[in-house]
Amino acid sequence: MDIVLEMQGVCKTFYGDGVIVKANDQVNFNLKKGEIHALLGENGAGKSTLVGTLFRKPDSGIIRLNGKEVELNDPITALNYGLGIARQDLTKSLIERHTIAENILSISKGFFLSLTEIENEIIKVLNMYDLGELDPKVRIWKLSGGEKQRVEILKALISDPDILILDEPTSMLTPTEIDNLFKLLNKLKARGKSIILISHHLEEAVNYSDRITILRQGKVVDTIDTHKAKENWKSEEEGIRAIANLMVGRESLYDLYREPLKPVNVAIEIKGINAKNEMGDEVVRGVGLKLMDNQIVGLAGISGNGQAELVEAMLNLRKADSGEVWIRGMNITNKSIRAIKNLGVAYVPEVRRKALILDLSVRENLLLNSYQYSPTPMIENDNNALITEELIDRFNIKTPSPLVPVRTLSGGNRQKVVVAREFSVIPPDGAGLILIVENPTFGLDVGTTQFVREELLKMRAAGAAILLVSSDLTEILTLSDVISVMYKGRIMGTVDSEDATRENIGLLMGGVELEEVFS
């Protein structure tokens, strides 16, 4: 197979606040024609930085396309050389107030002449690649998470690139959409296209890649021929564990155990909540839910079916039009966020930017819960330094210093900052912690995902009441005592974990009535 892309001795260094971070250190990488090459590593290992040097010149190193040395100084140059990329951070990649067509036009200069041509091409490409229905005229802010991810993939495909780079492309997709995406990638392979796949879902790399390159701390650890490696692995699980160990340099995966516990005390009770989205459409319809101490309730559903709006209505981040929310026996419907927080409620949102002040330091973001209601400004002292150092160590937050702005961290490490802060909330008066988490392991590497899930189980055993909103069915099935499924704003059914399977939960997510699922 011909080598279509070669990166030799690539280095990329970031500077800030007196700190130097070598994100890529003499990296060698190549991509063959007609292959899927998985690029794996922990959060902050340098994966996104490496592919980013194909769109912004690295500090040093050589990049060759089809054997010819090139300088890729900007995204338009890369586009003209036949590179396309679907980025992980959609908040940076997509302009919320613009339509789908306007977003694609902004990166397609030279390929199309008018907005109408773009809109027609979008429909053509959606049909060609079986990407489902999307209205080119709809504005990005009106789309669900999964729809936004499909738009980002569409952006990468619209110019028919020879090299397609996908950075965490499946994180917001349903199981069916994931299957369809990899069917598409195999079709592109058959047409001679080359694909770089960055993913924290190691089973995707094991099952779909031709080769795997693993980065650790900015350096290449190994490149594996997946097909040859499979001959030596006894199972998919063994392959996943072997790759995970290479990523972190130690044994990192083990079986989680959810011990049987009897739920006690009603922590939260939701009674007939109704709420609207930004367009004024009712997206939460008469939802009732109960959450108890010593319990994890999993809330499953395809993204965009009202889960996010329900959580926001519970926390008064969105007005509940009717219904009631009770916490610890108190009616807190549409009460202040301060009142809700003071009852010992912690919250990890799906969009991590909502929970961070990007220009503040890592330390200041970790201490926000301690200071958000304080009349005095934040004070630097030895105790605060000790607290933040402990959290950085415990949650393996990769940062050159606690004092650098949190915006300088990788996406996964920003998520770790949010998780670390909210998981360390101390509820008042000895009451159990109430923890509401939305896709808590989204964007996290395999080792940190394992750690976060273990921490959730530990908090449950310590008396916490946890509402786990997740699009990851494995996560829901592994951690939950009870699983409720939302579809078009309603609870389709609630199932005890002992009776839940991927198949019956999947049917409920698709709108099949509970009686039909268990008939």
Residue spans of the domains in the chain: they are: 3-82+161-248, 93-160, 255-344+429-519, 356-426
Model-level pTM?
A: 0.77
pLDDT at 81: 94
What residues pair up with 68 in beta bridges, in sequence order?
Answer: 65
Q: Looking at residues 89-105, what average pLDDT do you find?
A: 88
Q: Are 365 and 335 in contact (CB under 8 A)?
A: no
Q: Is the pLDDT of residue 364 over 70?
A: yes
For 255-344+429-519, give the CATH class.
alpha beta
Give the pLDDT confidence of 262-290 residue by residue, as tens digits.
999 999 999 999 999 877 889 999 999 99
DSSP string of 86-150, one letter each residue: E-S-HHHHS-TTSBHHHHHHTT-BTTBSSHHHHHHHHHHHHHHTT-----TTSBGGGS-HHHHHH
21 alpha-carbon distance from chain centroid = 24
Assigned superfamily of 3-82+161-248: P-loop containing nucleotide triphosphate hydrolases (3.40.50.300)
Higher pLDDT, 462 or 431: 462
Q: Is the pLDDT of residue 137 over 80?
A: yes
> Comparing 3-82+161-248 with 255-344+429-519, is the CATH topology the same?
yes
Q: Is the pLDDT of residue 415 over 60?
A: yes
Which residue, chain included where needed, has tokens 């349903």?
Answer: 174
Tokens of 425: 């909330």
What burial class does residue 119 get, using C-beta atoms within 10 Å of its C-beta: 0-12 exposed, 13-18 middle, 19+ buried?
buried
pLDDT at 163: 97
Q: Looking at residues 477-498, what average pLDDT do you find?
A: 94
- Averaged confidence pLDDT in the chain: 88
Give the range among 141-155, 256-270, 488-502 with minimum mean pLDDT.
Answer: 141-155
Strands (E) in 361-505, as ranges, are 434-438, 465-469, 482-487, 490-496
pLDDT at 21: 79
What percentage of the chain exceeds 90 in pLDDT?
55
What residues pair up with 196 in beta bridges, in sequence order?
Answer: 37, 165
Which residue, chain included where needed, has tokens 């329900």?
Answer: 310
Q: Is the pLDDT of residue 374 over 60?
A: no
Q: Is the pLDDT of residue 314 over 80?
A: yes
pLDDT at 371: 56
Q: How confident is the model at residue 372 (pLDDT cuts 50, 70, 90)?
A: very low
Q: Is the pLDDT of residue 109 over 90?
A: no
pLDDT at 514: 83
Give the range among 156-165, 367-376, 384-393, 453-462 with minimum mean pLDDT.
Answer: 367-376
Q: Is the pLDDT of residue 472 over 90?
A: no
DSSP 8-state secondary structure symbol assigned to residue 499: G
Determine the Cα–Cα distance for residues 113 and 296; give it in Å rounded to an integer.
Answer: 53
Q: Looking at residues 218-225, what average pLDDT do you find?
A: 95
Higher pLDDT, 42 or 164: 164
pLDDT at 251: 67
Give the C-alpha distances (Å, rounded to integers) separating 212 from 28, 102, 123. Answer: 13, 35, 34
74: helix, coil or strand? coil
pLDDT at 269: 96
What residues pair up with 483 in beta bridges, in sequence order?
Answer: 298, 495
Q: How confident is the model at residue 377 (pLDDT cuts 50, 70, 90)?
A: very low
Q: Is the pLDDT of residue 466 over 80?
A: yes
Q: Are 419 and 396 in contact (CB under 8 A)?
A: no
Higher pLDDT, 483 or 339: 483
pLDDT at 213: 97
Give the range among 105-114, 176-185, 307-316, 401-410 with minimum mean pLDDT.
Answer: 105-114
Give the pLDDT confidence of 491-509 residue by residue, as tens digits.
999 999 999 988 888 888 8
Q: Is the pLDDT of residue 197 over 90?
A: yes
What residues pair up with 99 in beta bridges, in sequence order?
Answer: 139
Q: How confident is the model at residue 108 (pLDDT cuts 50, 70, 90)?
A: low
